[in-house]
Structures are given as C-alpha cells and as structure tokens.
Amino acid sequence: GWAHYLLGVAHYCRDELDAARQHLAALVDKRHAVHAQALRNGVIGLVRVHLARGEIDAAWQMMELLAQMDVEGLGLEADDARSLRAQLQVLRGETDRALRWADGFTTPLVYHPWHWLQNPHLAKAHILLARGMDIDVRTALEITAALNELAERTFSVRFQINVLAQRALALAAQDGAVAAL
C-alpha cells in the first residue's frame, strides 16, 4: 500500500497523471489489505489527480469515499478532508460554504509529515485568497510564511514549492507583482 501511495505521489508531482491514478486507484482496489493512512491519503491523491485532469465529478466521488471512510473510522471528517471539501466547493462556486470552513479553522500549526498531499493550513490560505479581502491576504501571507519556515526546517522541498506558489499568489493579490515573481 505504501509503495503505491508513494509512487502515486511521485507521479502526481511529475504531472504523470495516468501513472499516478493507476497507483492511487490500486489502494482503493485493495482497501481492505492496505494501511489505513496510505488508503486515506491515496484517496486524497485521487481527488487531486481527478481535479488536475478536469474530472470534477470523479473528484467529488472520491471526496465522498474519503468522507465515508472518515465517518466510519473516526466518527467525523478529519481536518484534511474538510479542507479538501472546501477547496472543491470553491471550484463548484460554493465559496460561501468554503469560507465558513476557512473562517472556522483555527487549529494551530504543528509539524506533521509533509508526504501527505493535503494540508489544511495551506488550503485555508488558498480559500481566503478566493475572498480576497485585505485581512484575508494578510492572513494567507502569515500562514504561508509559517509553513515555509517549517518546510525549510524539515527539508521538505516538495511542500516548500507548494507553499511558495501559494505565497506568490498572496503577494500578487497584495499588489506585490515584483515580490510575487
């Protein structure tokens, strides 16, 4: 299970979406025989692969599978699942619902393994930028600064790339085109 997950992530990061989907789908096919965290995060990876391919309905199907797994295993959706749902809501034009999640998400930033594809704090920064108010941009900049420092300290280049891309969007929204570049 872990091999499929890590290969799926590697292919996703290289924009080899067919190969990523194949490895991540193998986790779902073998869901009763693989580690629960590999499966959960594999489903998150499948949501992202479907989004990258423009397959919104398939992304939502995987999101519902993730929600079902969380409710059955945890009794509720975990923060990463809620943040992914909120990002999907933005894409669907349900920005108000996504913003309600972002405004209510106040979990402090703590170190966790960066090999997961979904980070709720980074998702919050992304969603706040969708509203685009000055306070939202400042908050997104604060979040990305803290995440970048943590990514540097933990030598997570892949995560740092994602954080810096989000930070560039926040800087551009703050009229910092030069800083964004």
What pLDDT was estimated at residue 175? 79
Residue 55 region by backbone torsions, left for phi larger than 0, else alpha for psi between -120 and 50, else beta: beta
- Provide the CA 59 distance to its chain's centre, in angstroms: 13
Cβ atoms 11, 25 nearer than 8 A? no
Say whether 13 sits in a helix, a strand or coil.
Answer: helix
pLDDT at 114: 65
pLDDT at 110: 80
CA distance 86 to 100: 9
pTM of the model: 0.91
- Whole-number Å distance between alpha carbons of 104 and 136: 13
SS3 172: helix
Quick one: which of 108, 117, 85 has its CA closest to 98? Answer: 85
Answer whether residue 115 shows pLDDT above 90.
no
pLDDT tens digits, one per residue of 57-113: 999 999 999 999 999 999 999 999 999 999 999 999 999 999 999 999 999 988 766
- Confidence (pLDDT) at 176: 73
Has residue 163 got a pLDDT over 70? yes
Query: How many other C-beta atoms lie within 10 A of the C-beta of residue 60?
Result: 17
Which whole-number Å values give the CA distances from 49 to 33, 42, 63, 156, in the listed order? 23, 10, 12, 21
* Contact (CB, 8 A) for 63 and 47: yes
Residue 116's pLDDT band, with cuts at 50, 70 and 90, is confident
* The token pair that represents 113 in the structure block: 């393994």
Q: How far apart are CA 44 and CA 61, in angstroms?
A: 11
